[in-house]
Amino acid sequence: KKIIKKIFGLEKTFIIRFAYNIQYDYYDPRCLNLSLNIKFANNIFFSGQINGTTGYEEAAIQGFVAGINASRKSIKLPLWKPKKWNSYIGVLINDLINLGIQEPYRIFTSKSKFRLFLRMDNSIYRLYNLSFLLGTSTNFKFKFN
């Protein structure tokens, strides 16, 4: 309180209660590619709240995609561009880079035109081989029923 009163123009102020403010900056996701790198500086990858999303799942999966692609770029492999018809990851990134955001973005089943195909019971069939192609899986053997 004493420090505040020493600031010019604030000599007569009084503090009712201390508080804090968190300000989040964001980068327009329409300036990103499907691989989450910046269009004009393709060595920089963005993920999470900076892209205008909220929620732990959205941030985590963007970090996963950006991390995979940063590592692939470093060893000169083609970047992975998730497809909206194959996963909700693709739906989320496609929405961000093509539609932009008007408010903090959350992924919901209802946002996907392919929601009847993007089901939990068929995810292993859709994404199992992809995990090996991207190098994110081990030699785990899955028993298909």
Per-residue pLDDT 10s for the chain (145 aa) are 788 888 888 888 888 887 776 666 788 999 999 999 999 988 999 999 899 888 889 999 999 999 999 999 999 999 999 999 989 999 999 999 999 988 888 888 887 888 888 888 888 888 888 888 888 877 666 666 5
Beta bridge partners of 32: 38
pLDDT reported for residue 142: 64
- Per the structure, how many domains does the chain have? 1
pLDDT reported for residue 23: 67
User: C-alpha angle with apex 97: 49 to 102, nearest 5 degrees?
Assistant: 60
* 5 in any annotated domain: no
What is the identity of the amino acid at 128?
A: Y
What is the identity of the amino acid at 12?
A: K
* 98 in any annotated domain: yes
Residue in this structure with the two tokens 């081989």, named with its chain if needed:
129
Which residue segment(s) compose the domain that 74 sits in?
26-133
Q: Return the CATH number at 32.
A: 3.50.50.60
pLDDT reported for residue 93: 95
Rounded Cα gap, residues 108 and 115, in angstroms: 10
pLDDT reported for residue 113: 86
pLDDT reported for residue 22: 66
DSSP 38-79: ETTEEEEE--GGGGTB-SHHHHHHHHHHHHHHHHHHHTTPPP
* 85 in any annotated domain: yes
CB 36 within 8 A of CB 46: yes
* 51 in any annotated domain: yes
pLDDT reported for residue 16: 81
* 14 in any annotated domain: no
Q: Any residues with CB less than 8 A from the CB of 87 and at least 6 apart, and which?
A: 118, 126, 127
* 6 in any annotated domain: no
Structure tokens at 96: 């961000």
pLDDT reported for residue 114: 87
> pTM score > 0.95 for this model?
no
* 92 in any annotated domain: yes
* 39 in any annotated domain: yes
